[in-house]
Amino acid sequence: KFYISMHGLTGTKKVIQITDEDIRAIRDEDLPIYTLLVPLFHEEEMLPHILSNISKVDYPHDKLDVKILMEEEDEETLGKARKLGLFGNIEEVISPMTLPEYRKFLSIFHPVVVPNAELKTKPRACNYGLKRARGEFVVIYDAEDLPDRDQLKKVYLAFRRLGKEYACVQCMLNFYNSRKNALTRWFSIEYSYYYDYYIQGL
């Protein structure tokens, strides 16, 4: 790991820079359908947050295909999804949306219930979502993620620059509350090392 990290420190950085001008030049009609996989397991409290965060992403909603992946036995998360209207009747609306806005927004979400099995993993849940994906591009978000507003458009442009031999783009990741306490500072340092040096070295 030390050798790989040193290579990441001294080698050529393989980071694609996307400017605000690049983003503004994109026409919505040129954008492809994008599938967002959101695996959840006993994260009912985080469900409203990830829905709200996805609502702030700058991408045409009619080209978003969001799969909310929940385990069959996870009654808490399934119950919260029902209250939020993912299965039909709406009992709770995510602030600050009005009910009509929220109804329209819900059309991009598709709940996927992963059948019960002894082995429960995030990759298994994502496989169920991937089989149902409509998008040309796919991204995986964790329940606590706060995506950059332009992230999907940046990745779209990155793939256009890279060419068809590339299948994956890894976005930079870090904690948004890095200065909250010692623990979040340590996590932030670890993430910075991992994305700035280790992955670069690989």
Cis preceding-peptide flag for 96 (omega within 30 of 0) = yes
pLDDT digits (tens, 9 = 90+) for 62-83: 999 999 999 999 999 999 999 9
Cβ within 8 Å of residue 149, ≥6 positions away: 56, 57, 58
What is the arithmetic mean of pLDDT over 55-61? 95
Global pTM reads: 0.90
114-170 pLDDT, tens per residue? 999 998 899 999 999 999 999 999 999 999 999 999 999 999 999 999 988 999 998
**CB-count exposure of residue 1 (10 Å: 0-12, 13-18, 19+):** exposed
* Separation between Cα atoms, residue 16 and residue 77, nearest integer Å: 37
Supply the mean pLDDT for the chain: 94
Q: CA triplet 132, 33, 13: central angle to 5 degrees?
A: 105
Query: CB neighbours of 69 closer than 8 A, spacing ≥ 6?
Result: 37, 38, 39, 40, 112, 114, 125, 126, 128, 129
Side chain identity, residue 105: F
pLDDT, tens digit, 9 for 90 and up, residues 105-124: 999 999 999 999 998 899 99
Average pLDDT over residues 14-21: 90
The answer to whether residue 11 scores a pLDDT higher than 90 is: no
Of the given ranges (40-44, 65-69, 194-198), which has the lowest mean pLDDT?
A: 194-198
8 A C-beta contact, residue 36 and residue 145 = no
